[in-house]
């Protein structure tokens, strides 16, 4: 009996040793873009099959769920993923002890949109390039004899809104603009992040962060803010109040797709929705023009980055670096990013073009130059949603420009308190 037992133990130990010797490196990706989950699953499967000794698995957190809270829960459960996402400075500051330097990776030289740590090390892999402006329905503008190429100043946009508003019945419009701002509809980010980014970045060089730096230091430019608030008030005034105050994403996008609104305040991520809703009319972007200085610049940047957990084993980190390199620099990776996931790639070597019209407009604008960066992601955690969100929503209800300017001014002053 004793002999049998010792043989059994020896056999078990052998199995243990052998499994260590042929150890597969397993890495996991934890991400939040629900719309690309099936494509990413296919891609990691392909990569795992092609790469000896490495298994990549991907997990996606459902739409609208709390990604930040979910990673914290994973950390607490000692299941910190090897590759996960951050969305800007807030995420970087929180997770900096778990973020590896990726200076050695090949993809770094191929993009301008990597996330750099304050020490100047590339640490974030740009997942895609996204962008927005004020989207328009070219058929409706043509029917109203408005040339979108002339809509480059505040007064031109205002005149166009007024003209369209007068022709609503003829054009079959419910409202000129499709815009949402409510927290109950889950659209607080449309105005308090994206449209407001025009204040931080509009009319400045791509890397000029001076206006936003001042905001973070508690100081706003009242003249610029008032001009922006006047423009935002115009968007609100010509929006369908039901969508503005109650509407959700589906309602906002559907109104534009159905030709019930001539403009929409959304980015190129609505391309798949346009296809689903069968919207085939020509569409494009104008800028958010709140000054009289002509501009065609769009707001484009990487909205989120993959980072590698620096507390994972060295083998896992190396495998993660190789995986990201593969995604950025190979034909299979480009195929996944562009054709499968429909994203605008952040890498210069990728020549394939996305099929969505808004995404194409971004690629064209990128080639044209004169575009603007994103800065809202660098605000403190929750500031956009819980501090600016109610201010923007309230402005949509009471249209009180002075109160809005005072509220925003006080909100930024409170950052440094």
For the chain, the straight-line distance linking the first and the last C-alpha, in angstroms and rounded, comes to 75
* Residue in 394, 401, 413, 415 binding another protein, rule: CB under 8 A: 394
- 94 near another protein, rule: CB under 8 A: yes
- 182 near another protein, rule: CB under 8 A: yes
- 62 near another protein, rule: CB under 8 A: no
CA gap 379, 215 in Å, rounded: 9
- 303 near another protein, rule: CB under 8 A: no
- 382 near another protein, rule: CB under 8 A: yes
CA gap 271, 276 in Å, rounded: 9
Stretch that binds another protein, among 240-248, 260-268, 284-292, 324-332 (CB under 8 A): 240-248
* Residue in 218, 233, 272, 390 binding another protein, rule: CB under 8 A: 390
CA gap 219, 381 in Å, rounded: 19
- 393 near another protein, rule: CB under 8 A: yes
- Helix extents (H) in 115-248: 138-143, 154-166, 168-171, 188-189, 197-201, 210-216, 222-237, 241-245
- 95 near another protein, rule: CB under 8 A: yes
CB nearer to another protein: give 97 or 331. Answer: 97
* Residue in 69, 282, 294, 370 binding another protein, rule: CB under 8 A: 69
* Residue in 214, 339, 385, 409 binding another protein, rule: CB under 8 A: 385
Contacts of 378 (CB under 8 A, 6+ apart): 88, 89, 90, 212, 216
- Burial of 35: CB neighbours in 10 Å, binned 0-12, 13-18, 19+: middle
- Burial of 21: CB neighbours in 10 Å, binned 0-12, 13-18, 19+: exposed
- 165 near another protein, rule: CB under 8 A: no
- 294 near another protein, rule: CB under 8 A: no
Give the tokens for residue 121: 């090390």
* Residue in 90, 131, 180, 356 binding another protein, rule: CB under 8 A: 90
CB nearer to another protein: give 72 or 163. Answer: 72
Contacts of 69 (CB under 8 A, 6+ apart): none
Stretch that binds another protein, among 49-57, 87-95, 198-206, 215-223 (CB under 8 A): 87-95
Give the tokens for residue 269: 């991520």
**DSSP bridge pairs for 30:** 59
Q: Which of 146, 357, 359, 179 shows the shortest CA–CA distance to 261?
A: 179
Binding mask 395-414 for another protein (x = CB under 8 A): --x-----x---x--x----
What residue ranges bind another protein (CB under 8 A)?
66, 68-69, 72, 75, 90, 94-95, 97-98, 182-186, 242, 245-247, 380-383, 385-386, 389-391, 393-394, 397, 403, 407, 410
């Amino acid at each position: 009996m004793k002999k049998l037992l010792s043989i059994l133990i020896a056999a078990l130990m052998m199995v243990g040793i052998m499994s260590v010797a042929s150890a597969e490196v397993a890495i996991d990706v934890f991400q939040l873009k629900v719309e690309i989950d099936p494509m990413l699953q296919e891609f990691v499967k392909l990569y795992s099959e092609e790469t000896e000794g490495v298994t990549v698995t991907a997990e996606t957190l459902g739409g609208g769920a709390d990604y930040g809270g979910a990673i914290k829960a994973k950390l607490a459960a000692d299941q910190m993923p090897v590759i996960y996402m951050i969305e800007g400075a807030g995420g970087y500051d929180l997770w900096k002890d778990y973020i590896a330097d990726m200076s050695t990776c090949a993809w770094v030289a191929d993009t301008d949109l990597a996330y750099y740590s304050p020490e100047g090390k590339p640490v974030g892999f740009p997942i895609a390039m996204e962008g927005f402006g004020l989207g328009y329905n070219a058929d409706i503008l043509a029917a109203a004899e408005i040339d979108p190429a002339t809509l480059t100043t505040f007064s031109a946009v205002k005149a166009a809104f007024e003209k369209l508003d007068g022709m609503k019945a003829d054009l079959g419009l419910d409202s000129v603009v499709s815009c949402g701002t409510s927290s109950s509809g889950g659209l607080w980010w449309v105005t308090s992040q994206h449209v407001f980014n025009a204040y931080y970045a509009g009319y400045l060089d791509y890397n000029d962060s001076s206006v936003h730096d001042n905001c973070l230091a508690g100081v706003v430019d009242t003249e610029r803010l008032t001009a922006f608030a006047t423009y935002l008030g115009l968007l609100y005034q010509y929006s369908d109040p039901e969508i503005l105050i109650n509407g959700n994403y589906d309602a906002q996008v559907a109104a534009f797709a159905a030709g019930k609104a001539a403009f929409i305040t959304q980015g190129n991520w609505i391309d798949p929705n346009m296809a689903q809703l069968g919207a085939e009319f020509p569409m494009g972007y104008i800028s958010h023009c709140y000054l009289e200085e002509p501009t065609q610049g769009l707001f484009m940047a990487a909205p989120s980055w993959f980072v590698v957990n620096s507390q994972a084993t060295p083998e896992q980190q190396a495998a993660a670096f190789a995986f990201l390199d593969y995604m950025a620099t190979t034909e299979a990776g480009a195929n996944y990013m562009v054709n499968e996931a429909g994203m605008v790639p952040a890498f210069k070597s990728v020549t394939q073009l996305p099929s969505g019209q808004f995404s194409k407009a971004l690629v064209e604008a990128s080639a044209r130059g004169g575009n603007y960066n994103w800065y809202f992601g660098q605000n403190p955690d929750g500031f956009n949603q819980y501090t600016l969100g109610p201010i923007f929503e309230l402005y949509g209800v009471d249209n009180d420009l002075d109160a809005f300017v005072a509220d925003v001014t006080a909100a930024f002053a409170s950052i440094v308190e």
